[in-house]
Amino acid sequence: MSQSRIAAVDVGNDSVKAIFGELDQEFNIPNIIARDIEDRPVIGIEELDQKDPLEGIHIRVHSPALQENNAIYRVGHLASKSSNSTELDPGSSKSQEDQTLIMLFASIALDAAKGNKQGSNQVIDANYILGTGLPLREVKEGKDAGYRSKLLGSVHQVEFLVTPKYQGIKVNIKFDEVKVYPEGFAAYINLVMDHDLKIINKDLIDKRILIQDIGGLSTDIAVIKNRTVDDDKAQGFNLGVSESLENIREEIFSNHGVELDSRRDVVEIITRNNDRNHIMVKGSRTSVHDITDRILLELAKKQYRLLRNVWQKNSQTEICYFVGGGSNVLKEYLKTLNNNLDGYNIEFFEDEKESIWMMANAYYKLISEFTKKAEKPKEEKKPAKKS
């Protein structure tokens, strides 16, 4: 009987989405890290205990898989407050960056520490079965094999430094199995299959489909034919929604003097059901529709051009699904453009969570099915799950 826990982790350029165990735990952490030269000064103990660990991830990471071993990082929200933070460069390769591993290890260590019932200052040995992904381009280049063996080959230790609730805890992460899936393929699996990998969408499974994933920093268009991803046709573009959100934030500040805390606040304003596209300025309800409309329409047009290009090259496509956080934000604009222009058969997800967690959900389905299959011979007909 295996003690390993399932981890399904989508290291997105904008944020990491991670799902654990029997779906009992999930995290969404901004993909931002900042290198710390020295231990940052300890803040008050009360403050440490009250705060959410996710707000103050401060870790030292030991792992032979890293180019810079034993370095100290602030991760996520905490890193965004520091001046030397780094976000992934859209041109870089996920599989080659320490940042990808730091985010992956940090999310897993948080899961291990959260499930841990004893006090601090101790070492947790945590075994995981990991399902994760890489962009199609990197899988095509064969980078998935090296990435997998780096993860499998050693124990990776995350030491929590000045992190609320977890200060002093060390987590030794060992992977019993690692599966690296191509991102576009994963999205397709999630569309057509349920949690037991049973086909839920018979109509769709043999269609020629496109999946346009509009993320924070990049957009990927996967081409699916004969139930597989067509490697040669898939395309990635360095165009996401983060820059437009940032521009909206800046324009709201310069026109109305109102400083929104983050891009997340901008998303809230442009997607909420009540009072959409309005802010309060000195206590008066004020429209920012002119700003959001102009900037989002501009981005939607660019996204629509990408779709048109790929559709032209794959003329027998039957439907395109829009996924990723960017699709949420641009949904109405893309629909309107499409109605006025080419009238392609396009589809969005009503539930914003579904579109953002698409990839992580797919990895979860794939890795849990793999685990069930692997356990079957040993456990005969007994159910794979222990209650």
Ligand X SMILES: Nc1ncnc2c1ncn2[C@@H]1O[C@H](COP(=O)(O)OP(=O)(O)OP(=O)(O)O)[C@@H](O)[C@H]1O
Question: CB under 5 to 8 A by kind: which of Mg ion, ligand X, none does 224 bind?
Answer: none
Q: Which is nearer to Mg ion, 162 or 362 (CB)?
A: 362
Question: CB under 5 to 8 A by kind: which of ligand X, Mg ion, none does 244 bind?
Answer: none
DSSP state, 8?
A: E
Handedness of CA 144, 147, 151, 152 (dihedral sign): positive
DSSP state, 56?
A: G
Q: What is the DSSP string of 284-331?
A: EEEE-HHHHHHHHHHHHHHHHHHHHHHHHHTTT--EEEEESHHHHHHH
Q: Which is nearer to ligand X, 169 or 356 (CB)?
A: 356
Question: CB under 5 to 8 A by kind: which of ligand X, Mg ion, none does 329 bind?
Answer: ligand X
Q: How far is the CB of 297 from ligand X (least distance, A)?
A: 17
Q: How far is the CB of 234 from ligand X (least distance, A)?
A: 14
Question: CB under 5 to 8 A by kind: which of ligand X, Mg ion, none does 369 bind?
Answer: none
Q: How far is the CB of 148 from ligand X (least distance, A)?
A: 20
Q: Which is nearer to ligand X, 166 or 364 (CB)?
A: 364
Question: CB under 5 to 8 A by kind: which of ligand X, Mg ion, none does 182 bind?
Answer: none
Q: Mention every residue, 6+ apart, whose C-beta is less than 8 A from residue 184.
A: 136, 211, 213, 220, 222, 223, 224, 229, 234
Question: CB under 5 to 8 A by kind: which of ligand X, Mg ion, none does 109 bind?
Answer: none
Asked if residues 324 and 10 have their Cβ atoms less than 8 Å apart, the reply is: no
* Other beta carbons less than 10 A from residue 99's beta carbon: 21
Which residues share a beta bridge with 5? 128
Q: How far is the CB of 219 from Mg ion (least distance, A)?
A: 9
Q: Which is nearer to ligand X, 85 or 371 (CB)?
A: 85
Q: How far is the CB of 12 from Mg ion (least distance, A)?
A: 4
∠ at Cα 351 (350, 357), nearest 5°? 130
Q: Which is nearer to ligand X, 76 or 325 (CB)?
A: 325
Q: How far is the CB of 49 from ligand X (least distance, A)?
A: 28
Q: How far is the CB of 130 from ligand X (least distance, A)?
A: 18
Q: Which is nearer to Mg ion, 76 or 215 (CB)?
A: 215
The footprint of Mg ion (CB under 5 A) covers 12, 215
Burial of 261 (0-12, 13-18, 19+ CB in 10 A): exposed
Question: CB under 5 to 8 A by kind: which of Mg ion, ligand X, none does 56 bind?
Answer: none
Q: Which is nearer to ligand X, 190 or 328 (CB)?
A: 328
Q: Which is nearer to ligand X, 75 or 171 (CB)?
A: 75
Q: How far is the CB of 245 from ligand X (least distance, A)?
A: 6
Beta strands in 48-109 (DSSP E): 57-62, 71-75, 86-87
Asked if residues 105 and 158 have their Cβ atoms less than 8 Å apart, the reply is: yes
Beta strands in the chain (DSSP E): 5-11, 15-20, 25-30, 32-36, 57-62, 71-75, 86-87, 123-134, 156-160, 170-182, 209-214, 219-225, 228-229, 235-237, 278-281, 284-287, 319-323, 346-347
Long-range contacts of 258-265 (CB under 8 A, 24+ apart): 262/80
Question: CB under 5 to 8 A by kind: which of Mg ion, ligand X, none does 133 bind?
Answer: none
Distance CA 181, CA 158 (A): 25
Please identify the residue of the shown chain whose CB is closest to the bound ligand X: 215
Question: CB under 5 to 8 A by kind: which of ligand X, Mg ion, none does 216 bind?
Answer: ligand X
What would the two tokens of residue 233 be?
């046709």
Q: Which is nearer to Mg ion, 61 or 358 (CB)?
A: 358
What would the two tokens of residue 79 be?
């890193």
The footprint of ligand X (CB under 6 A) covers 12-15, 213, 215-218, 240-242, 245, 263-264, 267, 324-326, 328-329, 352, 356
